[in-house]
Amino acid sequence: MYDPLTIIILFIFYTGCLVLVALRVEQKAVLGKSLAGNPVVYSLSLAVYCSSWAYYGSVGKASASGMLFLAIYIGPAVAVILWWKVLRKLVRIKTRRRITSIADFISARYDKSSVLAALATIIALVGTLPYIAIQFKTIISTFSIITNQTSHSVFNLGQHADIIILGLLVISTILFGVRRLDPTERHEGMIIALAIQCLVTLIIFLSVGIFVTYFVYDGFFDIFKQLSESQFKRLAGIGTAHSSPYIVWTTYLILAMSGVIFFPRQFHVAVVENSDEKHILTAMWLFPLYLFLMGIFVFPIAMGGLLKGYPLWKADNFAVLIPIYQGKPLLALLVFIGGFSAAAGMIVISSVTLSTMITNHLLLPLVGCIRRLSFLEKELLKCKWAWWHLSFC
């Protein structure tokens, strides 16, 4: 497999390219040329919904619970039906009331209540930080899979991969979203980079799905035929290990329908970053199409791993492991890059959103109450950086 130094260099190159694109887009925006004000870019940025859980975890979910993973994709697709009325109204309220985050939106409903905004910020912080940690853990765990840990590179980077990757994420987040203060909290460069990451994630996941379905096996029919003759045939139904599968499905659907708009990161890309409400019309068909393409090969990859005899506890990593076991290390590397894109996109957007809410609804009210902290008003940008560092610590 690959040496850690090779992967780190690839990390730096890939992230560096995204940063350069983002900076170029922001330079154009200053000149009045908005490259991010595009319905396709807007629709692709919404795909930050598909974090590393959708990339890796949905395969693990399918391996354990069969078709239940589909609820995570069906829920948002159903919610899209209401977007032209609901999401468009949210965008209009954002523009009229100068909303910068979901905490700001909630407080605006009650005369800009600072207490309610602070409460919403704390809830978002508590709920999002573990999810960010999972994304980071996923990057590190898949890094260890595709690198040759038995042979040490000259600089012994394998033992410090977590620190190096963390540093890259911190730097890229600062450059993407908290490099400067913006009263509207719109970051065109970050959105362009996010759209590219989401597109990379989709293309690579489709590639590994096609490989497993049509090269390891002889298509969908072959997989389902072998599945029906195996001990895993129960996974082909909608039932789960629970006694009330319909209740479980309904719960998953409601959570997914809500999360696609009301996750802090989703609210940011769908509402705060929206520059034209007409872009919602494109998103109403392009985003469900993205979800369909991301979900179509989840079950074949999951069943493909199980039918090959790979252990269930490794199911989350089947997308990486199957190419490795089939002698396709380059494909495994690409899968890793796709997973990194999915995780990094979620981390960057969530971090930018949290830093905005913490600064606006926790730090500034605190500064207003304690005069000794008044000097922080001139250091708000550095405070955003500090909150981002603390969230990972």
Report DSSP letters for 125-145, one per residue.
HHHHHHHHHHHHHHHHHHHHH
Q: Does 137 map to a domain?
A: yes
pTM of the model: 0.91
What is the C-alpha separation between 68 and 38, in angstroms, rounded?
34
Instruction: Name the domain count of the chain.
Output: 1
What is the C-alpha separation between 80 and 287, in angstroms, rounded?
8
Per-residue pLDDT tens over the stretch 20-29: 888 888 888 7
The mean pLDDT of the chain is 86
Residue 323 Cα to chain centre, angstroms: 23
Q: Does 170 map to a domain?
A: no
Instruction: Tell me the two tokens of residue 383.
Output: 């405070």
Which pLDDT score, from 0 to 100, does residue 27 have? Answer: 81
Q: Does 86 map to a domain?
A: yes
Contact 344, 197 (CB under 8 A): yes
Q: Does 43 map to a domain?
A: yes
What is the C-alpha separation between 267 and 248, in angstroms, rounded?
25
Q: Does 32 map to a domain?
A: no
Q: Does 113 map to a domain?
A: yes
Residue 291: Cβ-neighbour burial (10 angstroms; 0-12, 13-18, 19+): buried
Domain boundaries, position 83: 38-143+176-392
What is the C-alpha separation between 143 and 165, in angstroms, rounded?
10
Per-residue pLDDT tens over the stretch 333-373: 999 999 999 999 998 898 888 888 888 888 777 776 766 65
Which pLDDT score, from 0 to 100, does residue 381 have? Answer: 56
Per-residue pLDDT tens over the stretch 109-149: 888 888 999 999 999 999 998 888 899 889 989 998 998 65
Q: Which residue numbers in the chain have pLDDT < 50?
A: 150-151, 153-154, 183
Per DSSP, the residues of 303-363 read: HHHHHTT--GGGGGGHHHHHHHHTT-HHHHHHHHHHHHHHHHHHHHHHHHHHHHHHIIIII
Q: Does 163 map to a domain?
A: no
Q: Does 230 map to a domain?
A: yes
Per-residue pLDDT tens over the stretch 312-323: 999 999 999 999
**Closest to 60 in 3D by CA, of 258, 306, 254:** 306
CATH code, domain carrying 234: 1.20.1730.10
Q: What is the four-CA torsion angle of 375, 379, 380, 383, rounded to 10 degrees?
A: -100
